[in-house]
A = this chain, B = another copy of it.
């Protein structure tokens, strides 16, 4: 049995490990999970005992296949619940995360798979993140960051990397939503801000904002 706390650590390691890093550092986990390094050391030993993580003192952590699958299944639940909340219960995309953080720990294989079917087997959550299948697999992401595009290129907003409610509320305020067609008009060298064309008008977005917007072409 994997505890709620263990699931949260697995998720953190999974996300941090995705950046192509071989081993995740104790401090990085502590920061992500908003705890202290000493707590992480304790937990990481437990995960290693349970064959969920590989851990060598002073050399960071990685997930075993078993740990990676467990993490992916938690993320699968998180994202399916987010879809449920938005599609069925009138939540907006900036309200779902905290509730999904709770719902992702509900243990019932039947529940998650029936929920998946009920929602029509969605492939992405309300923020554009992919939903892993029963085996923890998902199609590789093809969208590209706005800052990596050429001037004049056009695409559909299909992923926002930051899902914090403050960022999502900024997007709401500026009438930006997943699925919108966006065209890159200009890069400003001074502050790396970007002028983009949205459906109804053109706006300037800061580098910090641009970093979090991904388009599919």
Contacts and interface: CB of A to CB of B under 8 A. Distances in A.
Contacts of A139: none
A4 B69 CA distance: 27
A99 B89 contact: no
Interface residues of A, number: 18
Contacts of A107: 102
Main secondary structure on chain A at its contact with chain B?
helix
Contacts of A114: 89-91
Contacts of A111: 85, 89, 99
Contact of A106 (B91, B102, B108, B110): B102
A102 to B, nearest CB: 5
Contacts of A176: none
Interface in A51-107: 85, 88-91, 95, 98-99, 102-103, 106-107
Contacts of A98: 108
Contacts of A89: 110-111, 114-115, 118
A110 B88 contact: no
A114 B102 CA distance: 17
Contact of A88 (B85, B95, B106, B118): B118
Interface of A: 85, 88-91, 95, 98-99, 102-103, 106-108, 110-111, 114-115, 118
